[in-house]
Structure 1
Amino acid sequence: MPMQLPGLYWDAERNRYFPLSSKPKVPAAISQSGPKKHESSEAATAGDRPTATRSLKRKRISTWNATELSRTTCYAHGRYRAAHDILCSQYAETSRATVLKVPVFGRIKSFCSTTLDGQRRRFLGDSRGWLYGPTPAPTSSTDPDLWGADLNLQPESEISTISVSGARCVATCFGPKAKISVQDLNAAGSTCLLSFKNVHDIWSAHLEDISLVLGLGAGANKKAVYLPDIDVSTSIRILETGSDVFSVWQHENMIYTGCRNGSILRFDKRVGKHGQKLFTDRFSSHQRSSVLHLQTLKASQLLTSHMNGDLLTFDLRFTRQTTPIVQYAGHTNTYTQRLGIALDPDEEFLFAAGEDNRIRGWPIDGPGRGCSPFMKVFAGVVETMQVTEEPEGACLWAACDQLLYQFHLGQRV
């Protein structure tokens, strides 16, 4: 019998200890009758250090067998795996979707949804600098009357990001005179605009509580910007990256930047403007590719998306490790900078839009099975996505041109 160690749990199937913070949640049991099939993944077991990449490829699995396993097994991990398989199967068979043509002036570039005091708020940003919302959604979440143009940050410059934390909403735009919109959602009409000298062409942003990180592009910047307090905003800190910053993320005291030259840097907010390069050994034998998206997972992992189509998870405890712990197979990209990517609120499933105008899905960890949420081919590239918990269940939001799709995950028409 494995020993009980503080802060760790024993995974009998993988024969090793893991941090309690990374212990997978058991999905709610889902009833299902009759045998069904769906696409899934294979995961190779890694050693004590993450030296082997688990490539999540798709294969077929019987939902009937998974249901029987969840009913008969006496092992908690087996029940979790079976329930996860059933959930993947239902996600793969999603066919219920609501499509709304939003009255925007340009193409939808950014989307964000949040819930505050029981009210759902939706935000949109378009390719011509217009920001739409926020507006409470008392009835239907896709009522066209809920969308209205609130302000224009920069004419003919796209809204590059919309980020919400608590009761604050920050929107940024790409352009030579970029402005930052800060809204207090608790006070109707309370919006202020920020602008800083030599801060322009904002490609990415991430708001956490009152601190904001900006990633700057367009050649001459080669830096990220950190604002410790957006309510005061009297001073900013420059983070030297040596390359345009396509993606940023912050978690507690750490800031992560993904650059055009493929570098990933980690900055400590308590130290200064110079960061630590992560996973540098990976590029000794591999060509670098621009980092389009990154974010932390389960406190000890880093999810990254690259322009060459790599979709990877790294272990932040071993920052010199050359091999990612998971590589999500099937994602397609060769040159497109803006592709939607989203995680469910429990960080169990990953969804990514591809250059082939499809959306694919994978489980994050690999103890469960992979799935494809639906087989829709969009008319163009999906540039922004988000997974939300709605009263009717989990929903995947995806925007393409002037259309906003709400896919009700696991539900069929």
Structure 2
Amino acid sequence: MPQELPGFYFDKERNRYFPIKGPVPGSNAPNTASHNQGPKPKPKRTNDESNLCQRKRINSSELLQFRELYGKVLILSKRKSNFQQEYQKLQASQPVAWKYQGTDCHADGALEQFHADIQTPHGQKGTNILLTGSVTGSLSLYEVVEVGEHFDQGVTCIPNRVWPLITEREGECGSASGEIRSSTEASTSLPSSISCIKRIGKHSPDTAGDGSSLQHALVTTLGSGMSGGSVYTVNLNEPLDFCLSIPINRRIFKIASLNCTIWTADCNSDGKRAVLGTNHGAALIDLESGLQSWVCRSKSDIFSQQFDQSGNIVLCGFRNGAIVEIDVRQRQRSMAQSTGLPRHRIAFASNKIREPQSRHGQSLTKQYFELKGNLKPSNAINMSSAVCSLVLLQSDDKYFLASSMDGFIKLYDRRLIDRGAVQSYKGHMNTHTHLQLGVDPSESLVMSGGEDCCVRIWSIKTGELLFGTSISDTVVSTVCWAQTGELQEYSDERHRYKGILFEQNHSWGAWLGSREGLFYMHAS
């Protein structure tokens, strides 16, 4: 007699088990109960049941019950969705946030997470580290410590829960967040504000075992009135040891200095070149030789940039609201020569200059600026204000998110530029601050801080605002989603890292930085 397995039924004719699919009860799929009793009528869905997936009214157990009754495909407000998406939205609408003591003024300029080897009293291990930069020029390293680990050396930053409040939903907040550890030698000061921190290269199966290391970080400084910005690399390949007094200065190497302001930067996929967004245009720099060349010249500052997956196109967001794709495959000009770059006139929105009224009686707003570079003017996009953040989706880089300083966040399709944005995200608050967008690894959620000190989370697909609450007394300006999944093996195959405590206990998490300090937000 075949044993009964939960979620499966046994077909006597085929002599094998099959999964039970579809709505339960009322499914037409054969199972033991249906053969004996016949199919049960499918229950009618009431209006209250149809609204079960309104995230502010239900908890996870009710959503699980909803799936058991009606299957994985859910009908919500006359649209179809699936259980996984709705459960993720539910978690995003009820997050838990922690603030770390002693981290004030450390991560309000730039923030990035890396994987690295670290030396402990019990030997080397793979772990997650945070590299943070401040607007005062401070650059710091933090180790993410699992709960239960204790060390005599170093400074441990303990988290305090800031949302939800201690008196609210105490039983639903889950376990405490882990700690982070640093030391006085793991921090240094650079000449001016840290404007960007990015990974150099990416881990891939092809490079994991060939002896090459991609554990480096790109760091840029903004520059000051006395001098321009600078480009540095930070070597994270050598094992870190917070117990020894080895200053971080020994890991920092200066690549180049420019006679202009460096607002942003990005690296191509092989880690050999970086593009810099400056107040004079876009500059390409060879990270091995330090050679620099112009790929774009403009009088409008470039506030945001990102390479596409091919490494041939750079998406640039300008102060005047234009978004332009620059092709970097053509022969570039030296920093002293840019006359050979082709000239273009690019339209952008302007609130200062208004053309005479059209025959329809509407006031038109249009202005042009000159741009030198290899590009297609027809592919340019116009946002209503300075473009402070750009994020190309890794699953399909034909789509990208853009945020402007007047509070608009939009999703664009690079193939359908003439049709405008394909999705908009409402509720963001910004007027003049350089705020960063963060996208989770599954590319389902987008997060940003606002000038009202609130952190907001939207569904990328639907544009729905899932969460919006103040967790800090200052503006949250930097966002870095915690990585999940398993690292590729290091070259000596000594370690295989399978995620830190945060990813093990929570389905998603993100690091946030403000002048008040470092925060960690995760699913409840």
Q: Normalising by structure 2, what TM-score?
A: 0.59
Which piece of structure 1 moves more, 244-253 or 86-95?
Answer: 86-95
Aligned to 1:31: none
Deviation, structure 1 residue 129: 1.2
Deviation, structure 1 residue 215: 0.7
For residues 190-209 of structure 1, the aligned pairs below 5 Å read 190-198=251-259, 200-208=260-268, 209=270
Q: Is the 8 A contact 1:304 1:312 kept in 2?
A: yes
Q: 1:369 to 1:71 in 2, by over 3 A?
A: farther
Aligned to 2:88: 87
Question: Is residue 2:404 matched to residue 1:346?
Answer: no
Give the greater-gyration-radius structure (CA): 2
Aligned to 2:193: 158
Aligned to 2:114: 114
Q: Is the 8 A contact 1:331 1:360 kept in 2?
A: yes
Q: Is the 8 A contact 1:172 1:181 kept in 2?
A: yes
Q: Is the 8 A contact 2:456 2:465 kept in 1?
A: no
Aligned to 1:303: 401
Aligned to 1:288: 384
Q: Is the 8 A contact 1:162 1:172 kept in 2?
A: yes
Which piece of structure 1 moves more, 379-388 or 176-185?
Answer: 176-185
Q: What letter matches 1:202 in structure 2? A: I
Tell me how many residue pairs correspond in the alignment.
338
For residues 105-184 of structure 1, the aligned pairs below 5 Å read 108-116=108-116, 118-133=126-141, 136-139=143-146, 142-145=179-182, 148-154=185-191, 157-165=192-200, 166-175=214-223, 176-184=227-235
Structure 1 Cα separation of the partners of residues 417 and 512 of structure 2: 33
CA deviation vs aligned residue, 1:276-316 (integer Å, no higher than 9, x gap): 34655x65xxx731111112112210110001111000111
Q: 1:148 to 1:348 in 2, by over 3 A?
A: farther
Deviation, structure 1 residue 369: 5.7
Deviation, structure 1 residue 145: 3.2
Structure 1 Cα separation of the partners of residues 99 and 453 of structure 2: 16
Aligned to 2:472: 378
Q: What letter matches 2:91 in structure 1? A: Q
Deviation, structure 1 residue 89: 1.4
Aligned to 2:7: none
Aligned to 1:245: 302
Of 178, 186, 192, which residue of structure 1 is paired with 2:237? 186
Aligned to 2:415: 317
Deviation, structure 1 residue 186: 1.0
Q: Taking CA–CA contacts closer than 8 Å with sequence separation of 6 or more, which of the two structures ends up with the larger relative contact order? A: 1
Structure 2 Cα separation of the partners of residues 381 and 103 of structure 1: 15
Q: What letter matches 2:520 in structure 1? A: Q
Aligned to 1:49: none
Aligned to 1:405: 519
Deviation, structure 1 residue 63: 6.3
Identity %: 22
Q: Is the 8 A contact 1:111 1:385 kept in 2?
A: yes
Q: 1:279 to 1:268 in 2, by over 3 A?
A: closer
Task: Name structure 2 gaps, 5 residues minimum.
Answer: 1-51, 118-125, 148-177, 201-213, 240-249, 332-372, 485-502
Deviation, structure 1 residue 398: 1.4
Q: What letter matches 2:216 in structure 1? A: R
Q: What letter matches 1:88 in structure 2? A: K
Q: 1:242 to 1:172 in 2, by over 3 A?
A: same
Question: Is residue 2:273 matched to residue 1:216?
Answer: no
Structure 2 Cα separation of the partners of residues 105 and 404 of structure 1: 9
Cα RMSD, aligned residues only: 2.9
Q: 1:196 to 1:241 in 2, by over 3 A?
A: same
Q: Normalising by structure 1, what TM-score?
A: 0.73
CA deviation vs aligned residue, 1:55-92 (integer Å, no higher than 9, x gap): xxxxx778677535533456768796232112211221
Deviation, structure 1 residue 263: 0.9
Of 276, 281, 286, which residue of structure 1 is paired with 2:376? 276
Q: 1:77 to 1:182 in 2, by over 3 A?
A: farther
Q: Is the 8 A contact 2:427 2:465 kept in 1?
A: no
Question: Is residue 2:322 matched to residue 1:263?
Answer: yes
Structure 2 Cα separation of the partners of residues 345 and 275 of structure 1: 30
CA deviation vs aligned residue, 1:86-124 (integer Å, no higher than 9, x gap): 2211221223x3211335666732111122463211111
Please give the secondary structure, in 2, of the residue aligned with 1:239: strand
Please give the secondary structure, in 1, of the residue aligned with 2:179: coil
Q: What letter matches 2:466 in structure 1? A: C
Aligned to 1:387: 481
Q: 1:114 to 1:80 in 2, by over 3 A?
A: farther
Aligned to 1:365: 461
Task: Name structure 1 gaps, 5 residues minimum.
Answer: 1-34, 40-59
Structure 1 Cα separation of the partners of residues 238 and 322 of structure 2: 40
Q: Is the 8 A contact 1:300 1:317 kept in 2?
A: yes
